[in-house]
Amino acid sequence: MKKGLITILVIAAVALAAFLWVKSVYNSMVTADEAVSAAWSQVENVYQRRADLIPNLVATVKGYAAHEQETLEGVIEARSRATQITVDPTDLDEEEIQKFQQAQGELGSALGRLLALSESYPDLKANENFKELQAQIEGTENRIATERMKYNEAARTYNTMVRSFPKNIIASAFDFETKGYFKAAEGAQEAPKVEF
C-alpha cells in the first residue's frame, strides 16, 4: 500500500512539474510574441508619422514648384500605396514584411525626389515651413531606423525561443511560428560611387 501511494505521489509530482514547465514556457512565448507585436506597432507608428507629414510637405512644395506636377503626384501615389498595405501582427512572416518594406521604400524614394527639388528652387529651400518639415522628416527617418532595429531585436529573441529545443516542441504544439525580419534593401551592401 505504501509503495502504491509513493508511486502515485511521484507520478503526481512529475506531472505537476511538467505542467508548471509547459505553463512557464507557454507564458514566456506569449510575452515574447506580444513584445514583437508591440515593436511592430511602433514601426507602423513612425511610418504613419512620416505619411502624415507628406501632405503638408507637398502643399508647401506645390506653392513654389507647381509645374513639378509629376514629382508631386508620384509622392501622393506612393503615399497612398504605402498606407494601403497593412500587416497583421499575428502574421509577420518574411513575405508580408517584404511587401510592406517595398511600399515604404517606394515612398521613401519619391519623398527623396521631392526633397531634392529644393535645390532647384532657392525660395523653397529658404522657406521656414519647408525647412521645418524637412527636419521633421529627417528625424522621422531616424526613428524608423531605430524602431525597425528594435522590432528585429524583439523578433530575434522570439524566434530564438520558439526554435530552441525543447521549447520548440511547445511552440509547435501551440502554433507559435517564427516572425520575419526587416532586411536591407537590395543593393544596399554596395557603396555608392562618388565622382568629382
Provide the pLDDT for residue 192.
45
Q: Is residue 19 part of a domain?
A: no
Contact 156, 79 (CB under 8 A): no
pLDDT at 4 over 50: yes
What gap in Å lies between CA 74 and CA 77, rounded to an integer?
5
Asked if residue 180 is part of any domain, the answer here is: no
What range does the domain containing 67 cover?
39-173
d(CA 158, CA 143): 22
Percent of the chain at pLDDT exceeding 70: 93
- What percent of the chain is predicted at pLDDT more than 90? 46
| 86 lies in some domain | yes
The C-alpha atoms of residue 12 and residue 15 are separated, in whole angstroms, by 5
Work out how many domains the chain is built from and give that number.
1
Confidence of residue 10 (pLDDT cuts 50, 70, 90): very high
In a domain, 13, yes or no: no
> Looking at the domain assignment, is residue 196 inside a domain?
no
CATH code: domain of residue 76: 1.20.1440.20
Residue 187 lies in a domain: no
Express each pLDDT in 38-85 by its tens digit.
999 999 999 999 999 989 888 888 887 777 778 888 888 999 888 888
Find out whether 25 and 167 touch, Cβ atoms under 8 Å.
Answer: yes
